């Protein structure tokens, strides 16, 4: 068993890891922005999203603020554009009207910032300040870029036009024999105090009790979800919360986003490709309310955030919480569908080597999973290094999402990673799995 202490790296190892991760994230940002022409980069593909060229320069601006100016103590590269790329100054819908850097200037800007960052990485001592211990600030900026890359991938999915992104399909899969497993009652360790690049809302680790419950071994598939549609689930208020039903009526929901009727069946649009809805793939592009309504119709419910994390991390043999469902090793291609290696979730039952000790699959990767918890701080939370990453969102109109999607990079998800969005949002790569209470007879 590897303890987290064994994972602490020396300064040269940290530098090598940071350099590699910076290179990977920039390769992805470049691919997502080079795939389309300039007109496409500056245009708004959806009111929910920024123009791609805003994301690109915002990535560079955050990197400049934290790594060039704060960690490096250097002069600003561009002292005049911070306000344009401050997400709190301008809602996404208004960003196309801003005097943004045009594509060529945005590209030159992020390149200039990056060159300085490599110099800062070489020369800065990675100790003495919490911000730089184990390369934290660099890790935070790598994750920030990868998060915006996933946002840009969602913008690509909303974009209308011929396909411009390409990737091989994942392999076929066989679902496990058991549909659900019992997670025994008891305390487990949630969150982390040791994961070097964990963000503030994942900290600190704490013990929490979870009652016995059942959780599905795989996410809900398109085929499962179709049965809910065919049973009239969208037209039956019994399955919906009051807020969910109001939203279903207002937004006229009748199927997941990007689905359309095709004769007797359904097609979907996926990065510009129109194809029959694949029945064995996890459902994606549903909002929290649709997920909760499906679960109610199925006689189940969504897991809570502690339930999801216990199912993902708790090892009954040792009583400890793992970094990932499969153990403490960083994610590999055999564990999970991450990093946009595929442009779709893998079929339900994929990645048996990624399953948790209790036998739950695909908790990491494929689709973000809606869980029935709001965004609250853990006991002992302290904002770090800035309140605007997490703290200002606590208690807002959000539901949590766990585990990452096929579009999430391995550097930007962990067993402890917490994501959130409004419960009506469908542009993210989100699906869900079901849970249910265990009856006294079932826990024996
Ligand atoms: C944690 C994914 C909700 O994209 O709004 C990016 C991450 N914060 N820039 C988001 C983030 C600042 C955030 N999420
Ligand atoms: Fe950001």
Provide the CATH number for the domain around residue 129.
1.20.120.450
Share of residues in the chain with pLDDT > 70 (%): 99
What is the pLDDT, as a whole number, of residue 1? Answer: 40
Same domain, 179 and 149: no
Say yes or no: 18 and 150 in one domain. yes
Tell me what the mean pLDDT of segment 414-436 comes to: 99
Of the residues 142, 158, 174, the one at which a domain ends: 158
Q: Are residues 404 and 443 in the same domain?
A: yes
Indicate whether 411 and 388 sit together in one domain: yes
Pair 139, 264 in one domain: no
What distance in angstroms lies between residue 159's CA and the mean position of ligand 2's atoms?
Answer: 20
Query: Within this chain, do residues 179 and 147 fall inside the same structural domain, yes or no?
Result: no
199 and 305 share one domain: yes
Half-sphere exposure of 147 toward its Cβ, with a 13 Å CA cutoff? 17
Q: Which residues line ligand 1 (CB under 6 A)?
A: 144, 147, 151, 389, 419-420
Mean pLDDT (whole number) for 144-166: 98
The residue from 158, 181, 205 where one domain ends is 158
Residue 437 is assigned to a ligand binding site: no
259 and 243 in a common domain: yes
Take residue 350 and report the two structure tokens written for it: 């994929």
Q: How far apart are CA 370 and CA 357, in angstroms?
A: 22
Q: 92: annotated binding-site residue?
A: yes
Same-domain status, 63 and 174: no
Taking the CB of residue 249, how many other CB atoms lie within 10 A of it?
A: 11
| CA–CA gap between residue 376 and residue 105 (Å, rounded) | 39
pLDDT of residue 8: 85
Assess whether pLDDT exceeds 80 at residue 7.
no
Predicted confidence (pLDDT) at residue 310 exceeds the cutoff of 80: yes
Boundary of a domain, candidates 105, 140, 158: 158
Q: The domain that contains 198 carries what CATH number?
A: 3.90.1580.10
* 285 labeled part of a ligand binding site: no
Query: Are both 176 and 273 inside the same structural domain?
Result: yes
191 vs 110, 198, 314, 412, CA distance in Å?
33, 9, 12, 15
- Report how far residue 412's alpha carbon sits from residue 338's, in angstroms, rounded to the nearest whole number: 10
Q: Which residue segment(s) compose the domain that 117 sits in? A: 4-158
DSSP-derived letter for residue 302 is: P
Q: How many domains, the chain? A: 2
């Amino acid at each position: 068993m590897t303890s987290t202490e064994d994972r602490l790296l020396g300064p040269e190892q940290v530098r090598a890891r940071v350099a590699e991760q910076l290179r990977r994230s920039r390769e992805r940002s470049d691919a997502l922005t080079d795939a389309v022409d300039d007109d496409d980069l500056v245009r708004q593909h959806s009111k929910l999203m920024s123009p791609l060229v805003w994301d690109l320069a915002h990535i560079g601006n955050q990197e400049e603020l934290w790594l060039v100016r704060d960690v490096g103590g250097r002069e600003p590269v561009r002292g005049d554009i911070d306000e344009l790329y401050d997400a709190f100054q301008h809602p996404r819908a208004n960003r196309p009207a801003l005097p943004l850097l045009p594509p060529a200037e945005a590209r030159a800007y992020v390149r200039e910032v990056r060159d300085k960052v490599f110099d800062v990485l070489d020369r800065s001592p990675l100790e003495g300040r919490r911000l730089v211990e184990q390369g934290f600030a660099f890790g935070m900026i790598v994750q920030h870029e990868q998060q915006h890359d996933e946002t840009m991938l969602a913008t690509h999915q909303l974009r209308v036009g011929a396909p411009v992104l390409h990737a091989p399909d994942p392999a076929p899969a066989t679902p496990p024999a058991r549909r659900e497993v019992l997670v025994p009652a008891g305390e487990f360790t949630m969150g982390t105090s040791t994961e070097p690049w964990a963000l503030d809302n994942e900290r600190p680790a704490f013990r929490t009790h979870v009652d016995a419950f059942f959780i599905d071994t795989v996410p809900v598939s398109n085929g499962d979800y179709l049965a809910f549609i065919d049973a009239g689930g969208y037209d039956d208020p019994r399955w919906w919360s009051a807020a969910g039903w109001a939203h279903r009526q207002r937004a006229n929901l009748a199927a997941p986003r990007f689905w359309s009727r095709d004769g007797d069946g359904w097609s979907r649009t996926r990065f510009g490709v129109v194809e029959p809805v694949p029945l064995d793939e996890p459902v994606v592009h549903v909002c929290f309310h649709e997920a909760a309504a499906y679960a109610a119709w199925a006689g189940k419910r969504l897991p809570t955030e502690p339930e999801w994390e216990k199912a993902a991390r708790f090892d009954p043999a040792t009583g400890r919480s793992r970094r990932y469902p499969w153990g403490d090793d960083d994610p590999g291609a055999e564990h999970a569908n991450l990093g946009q290696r595929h442009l779709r979730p893998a079929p339900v039952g994929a990645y048996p080597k990624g399953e948790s000790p209790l036998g739950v699959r695909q908790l990491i990767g494929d689709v973000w999973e809606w869980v029935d918890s709001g965004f609250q701080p853990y006991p002992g939370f302290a904002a770090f290094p800035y309140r605007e990453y997490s703290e200002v969102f606590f208690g807002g109109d959000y539901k949590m999402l766990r585990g990452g999607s096929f579009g999430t990079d391995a550097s930007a998800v962990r067993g402890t990673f917490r994501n959130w969005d409004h419960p009506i949002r469908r542009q993210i790569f989100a699906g869900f799995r079901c849970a249910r209470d265990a009856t006294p007879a079932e826990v024996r």
